[in-house]
Amino acid sequence: MLTTHVESFRRALSELMPLLPLHYEKLALNKDRVPLDPNFEFYFQKEDLGELSFITLRSNGALMGYWIAFIAPGLHYQTCLTSIMDIWFIHPELAGGSAPLRLIRAVEAEMKRRGVQRWFAGEKLHTPCGRLFEAVGMQPVERTFSKWLGG
């Protein structure tokens, strides 16, 4: 049975830890140069300020997916409460079914509950998910480019 929940990032971190390497392997760029090393203290601070949203997807109680976003007034439009997706993940065992849509619908409901006016989410071009975002009425608005400059 799949369920979605709004949860505390801090309290769920021990359950989240085993999923992070799977997420990293699937999506991260420059893995040969940039190791997985989350700044958990930053997430805790944002959660303490009420600026973090952590929505989980569980299968029979086991954590199988999550959506993490930051919520705050827009930097350029401070009268507009804005949600900016940080990361999201669905365990590969559930990726082909209804789980992604169930999670994103729960995210949308939570954004509405929190009074978010503008909701941003992104996709990696090597793992596209735009159809999922479009299924809930989102529109593509920007592409982000990257170039490795480090040693």
pLDDT digits (tens, 9 = 90+) for 34-91: 999 999 999 999 999 999 999 999 999 999 999 999 999 999 999 999 999 999 999 9
Position 84 scores a pLDDT of 97
Predicted local confidence at residue 57, as pLDDT: 98
The arrangement of strands across the sheet holding 62-73 comes to: 2-6, 52-59, 62-73, 81-90, 118-120
SS3 content of the chain, % helix, strand, coil (to 5): 30, 25, 40
Domain extents in the chain:
2-135
Q: Report the pLDDT value the prediction gives residue 78, as an integer from 0 to 100.
A: 96
Total residue count of the chain as it appears in this document? 151
Measure the CA–CA gap between 13 and 109, rounded to whole angstroms. Answer: 23
- CATH number (2.60.120.380, 3.40.630.30, 3.40.50.1380, 2.60.40.1080) of 2-135 reads 3.40.630.30
Sequence-distant (6+) residues with CB within 8 A of 59 are 1, 2, 91, 94, 99
